[in-house]
Amino acid sequence: MSDFSRLDSSYPKGHSGAHCGVAPDADEGPDYDAELVERARAGEERALTELYRRHERRAYNLALRMLGNQWDAADVTQEAFIKAFRNLGSYKGEARFSTWLHRIVVNAAYDHLRRRQDEPVETETLDDLSGPAGPVTSLAGGGAGIEPAADGLSEPVKRALLSLNEGFRLAVVLCDLLGFPYSEAAEILGVQEGTIKSRIFRAREALAQALFEAGYELPRSTVAQEPGGSGRRQSDQQDRGQL
């Protein structure tokens, strides 16, 4: 009976309040963004810089996880910030600035994906990208090519993420990776909060499965301890890598 109680106590410290994570800018809160927007509207360049710095990392990582490579992510992040800053006049303040901005990032990334789909891609291109050329690219056979650059996530996690359906990946990236509250992720994607939770649940299940199949073990995982499970999994356990 007491086993499951540790689920709560061992939950990461960042996960508190009505959030699925803690936003990087949580120290000063959304009100500070609103203040910066006002100052930027009044022509203060420094306010723009500050707005940029407060949100660039999450915006870039969102684009990176949607598009799968740094170059496209940089393009889309740049485009989204320029659009947002040029249209500060049309920002009504009904949503948080970060919600509004990241919605622009998502739209820009979708536009980018649409354009990219229309461009011919030669076979060697896919080889060159070692798989994750985009959200719809199969990961099968990846790894033989040149990795564009290290991009932070460990390879198995990155591959597992890219194997997810886009809607699920976006939900888990926004909440688990970038720390948006469920409610804000729902606003960014224009879906109900319940939909976000459901997607995150299913995404994490798929991630756990993908990682297990790739031979990796979750931290303090019980994957291989299935009651009544066969000895095969137990022996696999010895060969499993760490994430």
Spacing of C-alpha 152 from chain mean position: 12
Q: How far is the CB of 29 from another protein (least distance, A)?
A: 19
- Looking at 26-34, 119-127, 135-143, 232-240, which segment touches another protein (CB under 8 A)? 119-127
| Residue-wise burial string across 135-159, b where 16 or more C-beta atoms lie within 10 A, e elsewhere | bebebeebeeeeeeeebebebbbbb
| Complex with another protein: residue 91 or 131, whichever CB lies closer | 91
Mask: binding to another protein, 2-21, rule CB under 8 A, as x and -? -xxx-xx-xxx-xxx-x-xx
Mask: binding to another protein, 21-60, rule CB under 8 A, as x and -? x--x---------------xxxxxx--xx--xx--xxxxx
Q: Does 234 bind another protein (CB under 8 A)?
A: no
Q: How far is the CB of 175 from another protein (least distance, A)?
A: 8
* H/E segment holding residue 216: strand 216-217
First to last CA, the chain: 30
Mask: binding to another protein, 120-139, rule CB under 8 A, as x and -? xxx-xx--xx----------
Q: Does 1 bind another protein (CB under 8 A)?
A: yes
Interface with another protein: number of residues (CB under 8 A): 109
Q: How far is the CB of 65 from another protein (least distance, A)?
A: 10
Q: Longest Cα pair distance anywhere in the chain, in angstroms? A: 68
Rg from Cα positions in the chain: 20
Report d(CA 131, CA 180) in Å as an integer.
28
